[in-house]
């Protein structure tokens, strides 16, 4: 009987020890799988970034790219509601601005209004703005601008700013 009890105790101990070893082995395997999953996720993110860059380079090649940005330094004489951009008699961008977007622009943010492709040569851009001007009156203004598209990309900054001498907003274009 003593030998039987001893054998049973040894079998139970062996089962417990092997169970712990199995559990430890399973934990190590799970940790390896977690690490591998994180590594695969990072690889997917890197591939996504590379695909985005590749897509952008093919969709908007440098030699044809034109980008238009909007910056605002107004608030006293004008409150922006909408903007429309026409390049070579084609409307390329049109949008309405909500109050929180206008607030952001007035605090110094820049808005990329348009990015697209144009052949090299001379082009004409017309920008139309609508909003509220002095004394809360509806206000509309347009600006025409000629630019040359060469080999490097063209960046156009449309600036809206208060002109105190005339008590109204002013639109300027800066080509970068």
Q: What is the pTM of this model?
A: 0.64
**What's the rounded Cα separation, in Å, for the pair 107 and 153?**
27
**What's the rounded Cα separation, in Å, for the pair 23 and 10?**
20
Contact 99, 91 (CB under 8 A): no
Taking alpha carbons only, the member of 81, 77, 110 closest to residue 94 is 81
pLDDT value at position 65?
84
CA dihedral (50, 45, 115, 162) in degrees, to 10, reads -130
Q: Per mean pLDDT, which range of 35-39, 89-93, 99-103 is the poorest?
A: 35-39
pLDDT value at position 35?
81
In this structure, what token pair is assigned to residue 104?
């952001």
Q: Look at residue 140 and tell me whether its pLDDT is greater than 70.
A: yes
- Residue-averaged pLDDT of the chain: 82
Sign of CA dihedral 29, 31, 34, 40: negative
For residue 75, CA distances in Å to 69, 92, 129, 166 come to 18, 26, 14, 15
pLDDT band at residue 155 under the 50/70/90 scheme: very high
CB-based burial label for 135 (10 Å; 0-12, 13-18, 19+): exposed
pLDDT value at position 120?
87
């Amino acid at each position: 009987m003593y030998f039987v009890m001893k054998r049973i105790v040894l079998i139970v101990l062996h089962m417990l020890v092997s169970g712990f070893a199995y559990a430890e082995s399973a934990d190590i395997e799970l940790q390896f799988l977690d690490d591998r999953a994180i590594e695969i996720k990072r690889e997917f993110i890197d591939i996504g970034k590379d695909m985005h860059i590749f897509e952008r380079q093919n969709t908007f090649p440098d030699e044809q790219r034109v980008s238009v940005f909007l910056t605002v330094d107004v608030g006293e004489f004008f409150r922006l509601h909408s903007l429309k951009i026409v390049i070579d008699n084609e409307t390329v961008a049109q949008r309405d601005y909500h109050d929180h977007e206008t607030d952001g622009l007035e605090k110094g943010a820049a808005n990329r209004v348009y990015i697209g492709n144009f052949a090299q040569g001379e082009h004409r851009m017309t920008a139309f703005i609508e909003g509220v001007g002095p004394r809360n009156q509806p206000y509309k203004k347009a600006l025409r601008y000629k630019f040359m598209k060469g080999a490097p990309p063209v960046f156009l900054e449309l600036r809206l700013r208060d002109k105190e001498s005339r008590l109204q907003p002013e639109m300027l274009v800066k080509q970068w």
